[in-house]
Each structure stands twice: as structure tokens, then as C-alpha cells.
Amino acid sequence: MILDQSLLVIADTGLRFSGMTMLLLIALLLGARMSDTWVGRFGALTGLGGAAYLICPFIDGLVWYTVPVTIFCVINPALLWLLGRSLFEDDFSPGLFEWSMPAVLFGLYVLRLLVAGVGDGEVATVFQAIHGVIQLSLALHLLWRVWRDRQNDLVEARRQFRQKFVTLGGGLLLIIAVVEIVVVEPDDVAWLLLLQAAAVWALALWLCLTVFQLGNLFGPVAADKKAADTADDTDPDAQRIVSLLQTDKLYLQEGLTVGGLAERAGLPEYRTRDIINRTLGYRNFSDFLNGYRIEDAAERLRNTEMRRLPILTIALDVGFGSIGPFNRAFKARLGLTPSEYRRQAFSA
């Protein structure tokens, strides 16, 4: 039994130190190479958070030199959530809600310490459970977003990466969250600590092998955000796709997919994705369609004969399913909301 326990400790220590080394290397590489992007920033922070997570079970108390480690350890699930969002969502920019998630996790941790310090263990357990539920919610939300948008993704390398990310990164998040909800003191269970170290080590190894390929996850992107109204004269397939959008106005079809466009163009789906990505310069199919839709909507908003037509009607007519996505896409592309754009057009 003593030998078994010693072997567990040796295996656990080896996995933690090698995992920390890999995660710190990832943080260094992303911080140095991609510091001007959210992927690089959140990637570096997640690397530090993962390394801290491996140390946390052995921190007995909070002193000045353990506080940064504890902070990174506690907020790491939120950092991984933000990293996943920045990897797979084009033009991702964190807002107030995104920034609040790390603060919420750390706030719950501080409240649990304060309550436990005054001897109220039951309330402290409740705070720990809430912390675990939020971790689980972030994991599920990330997996849902990454998987939901896979059909819109036009970058083949990133489409394949999505499946691995959902399986490995998402699976690890779910396991950790469930364990922390079900097991009150997981740090006191030796085999759980070993399982935790092994899971993080495997993820760190995979990320180390992946970090050198991150550049392949971001294909060409249009220089501006207007509709792609021209195509390579030497590529008849690209001309056919542009004609379907420009002449036949296929973008008016709500719920149009890459497969649907490929079928109308008489092309394989993989070929259609490649053309829109490499030839026309888009990473996201919805962004490609929205170029035509917003251009059409802007023309209708400028039309004096349609000045009384509700904006919702215009949004539905050009292929959007609801007003919210239309307003966001319109402002992102033209810098004004539809109502501001219409008001400015007629005041001029």
C-alpha cells in the first residue's frame, strides 16, 4: 500500500512538472508571437492559468507569493472559455459580460474563503457548488458555440480543429467541473489528483503540438467588409458562385447553407468552401452572405419609396431571420445602426 501510494506521488509529480513546462512554453510562444491578437493574449493567459492549476492543490494558504498562482488557478476555466471564443469566432472582441466571468469566479472563491473562515462550512460548500456550476456552464456554452458554427467555418484546418477542441478541451472542462461539483474536497483524493494531472498533461501536449500550426487556422479574409462583387476571371466556378449571389440573389433565401449554395452551383461542397475562402477572401459563410444582404438592405434604407417600411421587414426581406443579428451585422459592416443609417441618408 505504501509502495502504491509512493508510485502515485511520483507519477503525479512527474506529470505536473512536465505539464507545467509545456504550458509555460505555450504562454511564452503565444505572448511573443501573437500578442497583438486576442488569441495570443488569451492563449498566453490560459497557459499561465493551466500551469497554476497544476500547482494549486499543494497551496495550503494565501501569502503574497501564492496569490497570483491562486488567482490564475481559479479563473482558468473562464480564460479557456475566452480562448475558445477568440479561436473560433471571427472578429471576436470581449465585452463587459466576457470580462466579468473571470471576476465572478474569483469573487465566489473569495466569498467561500471568507465564509469558511468564520466557520460556516455549509454556506462555503454552496459557494463552491455555484463556482462549479458556472464552470460547467462555461464549458457547455463553449462546446455548443464551437460545434454550432462548424458549418459556417470556411477554413478547413479550423473545421478539423473544432472537432479535436470539442473532444479534448471541452471534455476536460466538463470532467473538472463535474468533479468539483460532486466531490467536495477533490484535492484530498490521491487518484483524482493523478487523473487531473494526467488530463491536463495530455491537453498540454496536444496544445504544444498545435501551437505551431495556429497560423493555419486563419484563412484569407476580405480586405474590406463589402460583398465580394468580383471573382477571378480565370475561375469559372468562382464566377458561377458570385453570379448566383449577384444575379439570382440567392442570399435572399433564409437559412441558406454552404451545401445549398454548392448544390445550386453544381459544385462539391469542399470546392465551394475553398472558393469562398481562398478566392473571394472570407473565413465565415454567414459573413460572406451578409455582405450581399447588408448592401441590399442599405439600398432599401436609402430608397425614398421605402422610407416608411419597417426596418424589421427589410431585415427579413434580405434574408435575416430576426432583427437582432441584422442590427449587429449592419453596424459591424457600416458603422451605423440601420435606423441611424436611414436617418443620415434622408437628412443628407
All structural domains of the chain with their residue ranges:
2-217, 236-347
Mean pLDDT of 275-296: 90
Res 189: pLDDT: 64
pLDDT band at 92 (very low <50, low <70, confident <90, very high): confident
Residue 270: is its pLDDT beyond 80? yes
pLDDT-based confidence at residue 23 (cuts at 50, 70, 90) = very high
The pLDDT of residue 62: 67
Please give the C-alpha separations between residue 21 and each of 34, 48, 211, in angstroms, as whole numbers: 20, 10, 14
Q: Which amino acid is at 311?
A: I
Q: Specify the pLDDT at position 1.
A: 45
Instruction: Select, from the ranges 73-82, 122-131, 161-170, 175-184, the one with the highest average predicted confidence (pLDDT).
Output: 73-82
pLDDT at 187: 55
b/e sequence 325-339, b meaning 16+ C-beta within 10 Å: ebbebbeebbebebe
User: How confident is the model at residue 104, as a pLDDT?
Assistant: 94
Least confident of 62-76, 178-192, 302-316: 178-192
C-alpha distance from residue 147 to each of 76, 174, 177, 262 (Å): 21, 15, 20, 21
| pLDDT the model gives residue 223 | 42
Question: Would you list the DSSP string of 284-303?
Answer: BHHHHHHHHHHHHHHHHHH-
Tell me the C-alpha to C-alpha distance, in Å, between residue 164 and each of 120, 159, 178, 206, 259.
42, 9, 21, 10, 23
CB 51 within 8 A of CB 229: no
Q: In angstroms, rounded to a whole number, what is the distance separating the alpha carbons of residues 154 and 335?
A: 25
What angle do helix axes 190-211 and 38-55 make, rounded to 10 degrees? 150
CATH 1.10.10.10 fits 236-347, yes or no: no
Packed helices 67-88 and 171-182: angle between N→C axes, nearest 10 degrees? 140
Among 49-63, 179-193, 226-240, the range with the most confident prediction by mean pLDDT is: 49-63
pLDDT at 196: 75
The DSSP element (H or E) to which 151 belongs, if any, is none
Q: Are 80 and 44 in contact (CB under 8 A)?
A: no
The yes-or-no answer to whether 2-217 and 236-347 have a common fold is no
> Which of 96-105, 132-141, 192-201, 211-220 is predicted least confidently?
211-220
pTM listed for this prediction: 0.80
- Give the chain's mean pLDDT: 83
Q: If we measure between CA atoms, which residue out of 30, 47, 50, 28 comes closest to residue 38?
A: 30
Sign, CA dihedral 325-40-170-138, equals negative
Q: Report whether pLDDT(313) > 70.
A: yes
What are the pLDDT digits (tens) for 218-264?
Answer: 655 554 444 445 555 567 889 999 999 988 999 888 788 999 999 99
Strand partners, 284: 153
The count of other CB atoms within 10 Å of the CB of residue 51 is: 25
Q: What is the CATH number of domain 2-217?
A: 1.20.1070
Residue 164 — pLDDT band, cuts 50, 70, 90?
Answer: confident
Would you say residue 210 has pLDDT above 60? yes
Q: What is the average pLDDT across 310-320?
A: 91
118 vs 93, residue with greater confidence: 93
pLDDT of residue 105: 94
Of 137-141, 163-167, 187-191, the range with the lowest mean pLDDT is 187-191
pLDDT at residue 147 tops 50? yes
- What local confidence, expressed as pLDDT, does residue 42 receive? 93
Task: Give the residue from 33, 39, 140 showing the smallest Cα distance to 85.
Answer: 39
Cβ proximity of 326 and 320 under 8 Å: yes
Report pLDDT for 75: 93
